[in-house]
Amino acid sequence: MASQGKSPAASWISIVLVIVGAIMAVAGTVSYAMVGTTLAEERITVSEDACLGGSSVNGPLQAYCEAMIIEVHATEATGGKTYAELDREDPLRQTAMTGSFLRASLFTSVVAFGVSALVVGLGVLFILTGIGLRSLTGRKEDDPAATAPPVATA
């Protein structure tokens, strides 16, 4: 008897899903590690008055905490004014600009960590979907001799 539920296209798709998923999981992991390593090389320490104060900035939580406290410090230094609100000749405008650039850089790293984690998660999902599809397409009908109704004997 012919195989039941076997599709060459589904079989190939399952293989492609597993391969693409593995590539995504590895690429996401490498990206996450590279962002963390690059941040660590900057030797940034989270300000003591911030959440996670005193820790090295090498992950998304530390980067977020440092970005948030930079905003507090820049706002205090400029009297609550933003870069756009400060007069062109005001020396505090440079402080506001530097604070804004630092925050943007740290938030970019937070987003990079998030995207990397998303790629890893999607890669794992692709792998599991491929394995599931493969298990469905790989089923064969049981041996007909084993499932045939018993023959009456006299």
Cα torsion angle, 64, 66, 68, 70, sign: negative
Burial of 126 from C-beta contacts in 10 A (0-12 / 13-18 / 19+): buried
Instruction: Say if residues 124 and 21 touch (Cβ distance below 8 Å).
Output: yes
Confidence check: pLDDT of 1 > 50: no
Q: What is the mean pLDDT of the chain?
A: 90
Confidence check: pLDDT of 30 > 60: yes
Segment 103-126, tens digit of pLDDT? 999 999 999 999 999 999 999 999
Q: What is the maximum span of the chain, computed from C-alpha positions, in angstroms?
A: 111
Residue 7 has a pLDDT of 78
Segment 57-77, tens digit of pLDDT? 999 999 999 999 999 999 999
Instruction: Say if residues 8 and 137 touch (Cβ distance below 8 Å).
Output: no
Q: Which residues of 97-123 are buried (b: 16+ CB within 10 A; e: fewer)?
A: eebbebbeebeebbebbeebeebbeeb
